[in-house]
Amino acid sequence: MMTYRRFIHIVLTGCTGIAVTLFLWVALSRLSYPFAIEWLEGNSFLHVLRVLQGQPLYVAPSYDFIPMIYTPLYYYFLCRLRRICWRWLNGKPIFMVLR
């Protein structure tokens, strides 16, 4: 006979499995999508390029570059991750996968 606790455990395990499967499906399908998924992706890409080129992130706004007010750790993390995963991603920006 199935107890109440066992039934709840089975239901929650099933729901967790469905959630993880859906997340993986969405994350992996973004790898092959050629366009921006989120409207700040292009600006994030410019921030990462500035870090890779050794330029400062937070400068006075100009016609060429307007910095976002987010913390810089995300961009530095992406630069490190890019150096590790560049060949695996076939040149696609890593933030397209992380967002």
Return the sign of the alpha-carbon dihedral for residues 61, 66, 68, 73.
negative
Query: pLDDT digits over 27-52, tens only?
Result: 888 877 777 777 777 788 888 888 88
**Residue 96 CB neighbours (<10 A):** 19
46 & 69 share domain: yes
60 & 91 share domain: yes
Q: Which domain holds residue 18?
A: 1-30
pLDDT, residue 19, reads 97
pLDDT, residue 95, reads 54
40 & 16 share domain: no
pLDDT, residue 16, reads 97
17 & 51 share domain: no
46 & 91 share domain: yes
Ranges under pLDDT 50 in the chain: none
- CA 48 – CA 55 distance, rounded (Å): 10
42 & 13 share domain: no
pTM: 0.56
pLDDT, residue 42, reads 78
